[in-house]
Amino acid sequence: MAYPKSRLAISCIAIVALAHYAQASSRVNNQFGNVASYQNEVLKWAFVYENGCKKQYDVYRDARIPDQIGHEKAFLLLDCLLDKTPEGYKADMASTGIVLGLLPALLTRVGPTLAETSLLALRRPVLAFLLGLGSPSINTGFGELYGNPIQALATRPRVNPRPWGCAHPLAKVAISLGEYLVAAAAVSNVLYTAYRLTYSAICWSAIALYITGVPETSIVFIWAALVPTSHALGCLWRRYRVVHNMAPPPSSHSPPIESAQKGVFCSAVLWRYLSEEATPSVYGKPLRAMQRSPGYVLVLIEHALSLFSLVHVIMGTVILSTVLFLELSVAVQIVAQILCGSICSRLVLQYELNGTRHVYSA
C-alpha cells in the first residue's frame, strides 16, 4: 500500500505545480484597468473617448484572446496610449524614470548590508531578516563580509547603547517592541510600493522583455523578493563561518536521555532561542563565537553574493527607470518613503550591533 500512496502524493504535487504554471502562463488583463482608475486624467481621456484606445483596451481585457508574440496585447495598448499622451506629460514621465532609476544605487549606500544582517542573525535571526527585507537592496559590505567579525565585536562602542543606563524589564520590552515595529513598517512600505508600481503605473521593461511563464505584473515583486533570499543566504553563510555559543560536547560515558527528558530539553532550547530573539542585544548575554576557516563552498558563496548584488542593482535600475504613467511628484514621494524605511532599518541594525559589541567587550 505504500507505493499507491506515494504515487498519489506525487500526482497531487504535479497537479498543483501544473496549476500554478498555468496560472503564471495565462495572460494578465487587469493591469491597465487599475491604471485607468488611478488619478490620471490623461489615461482616463485615452480610455473613454472614441479617438482614444478603447479598441485596444477591449482586446486587452478579453482574456480569451491569447498573445501571439510576447506580451502582444499589452504592448499594443501601451503603444496607443503613448501615442495619445501629450509631449509635456511624456517629459514628466522621463523625469520620473530618472528619479526612480537612481533608487537602487542609493539604497546600496544607505541600506543594511549582508555582513551586518548576518552578524545580527547569530543572535536575533528574525529581526535581522525583517530589517534586510525592509530595504530592497543587496550590499555585501565588501571588506566587512570577508573580515573577522570576532575582532569587530571586540571594539567597544563610543556611546552606551543602554538608554540612561536603565536595566528595567520594561525598557527591554519597549526597545524590542519598537525595533519590531520599525522593521514591520519598513517591510510593509516595500510591499506597498511594489504593489503601487505594478498596479498604479506601467513598467515598460516588464512588457518589452518577455520571460516565459512570468507575468508582467510580477516583475517588481520578483525584484523585491530577491532581497530576502540573498539575506537568508548570507545568514546561512555566517552560521557556517562562525561557531557561536559553543556548548561542550556530551560525554560518551553519560547516561542515555529518556524521552520525557528529551521533551523538556527541546522546550528549554526553544525557550532559549525565543528569549534571545525577543531580547535586545545590549541586554543579552555575551556572544561567545569563534570563526572557522572558509572552505571552497563558502568562498564560492561569497563571490556569488558579490556578483548577485551587482545584478540586482542593474535589474532594479532597468525596471524602475522604465516606469510609465506615474507623476514626478509621486515618484519623489516613493523614493523618500523607501529611503526613509532603509535608513530606519539601518539605524536599528546599528543599534543592535553596538549593543552586541557593548556586551561582548564588557
Residues 98 and 187 in one domain: yes
Query: Judging by DSSP bridges, how do beta strands 323-324 and 202-203 pair with one another?
Result: antiparallel
**How long, in residues, is the chain?**
362
List the domain range (segments joined by +) for residue 57.
27-85
* CA pair distance 224, 23, nearest whole angstrom: 21
* CA pair distance 361, 5, nearest whole angstrom: 57
Residues 175 and 307 in one domain: yes
Cell of 201: 503605473
The answer to the question of residue 6 being in a domain is no
Question: Mean pLDDT, consecutive 10-residue segments, the chain of 362 residues?
Answer: 46 44 56 59 57 78 80 86 82 90 90 84 87 86 57 62 64 88 94 88 85 82 87 77 54 51 65 80 72 71 82 91 88 93 92 79 53
Q: Which of 46, 61, 85 is the last residue of a domain?
A: 85
The answer to the question of residue 279 being in a domain is yes
pTM of the predicted structure, to 2 decimals: 0.77
The answer to the question of residue 74 being in a domain is yes
CA angle 98, 192, 82 (to 5 degrees): 45
Q: Are 217 and 28 in contact (CB under 8 A)?
A: yes
What is residue 143's predicted lDDT score, i.e. its pLDDT? 55
Residue with cell 541600506: 111
The answer to the question of residue 183 being in a domain is yes
Residues 162 and 32 in one domain: no
Residues 348 and 199 in one domain: yes
* CA pair distance 291, 150, nearest whole angstrom: 7
Residues 131 and 75 in one domain: no
What is residue 34's predicted lDDT score, i.e. its pLDDT? 61
The answer to the question of residue 255 being in a domain is no
Residues 184 and 333 in one domain: yes
- The 3-class SS string of 15-37 reads HHHHHHHHHHHCCCCCHHHHHHH
What is residue 274's predicted lDDT score, i.e. its pLDDT? 80
* CA pair distance 324, 322, nearest whole angstrom: 6
What is residue 319's predicted lDDT score, i.e. its pLDDT? 92
Residues 75 and 98 in one domain: no
Count of the separate structural domains present in the chain? 2
Q: Which of 62, 85, 108 is the last residue of a domain?
A: 85
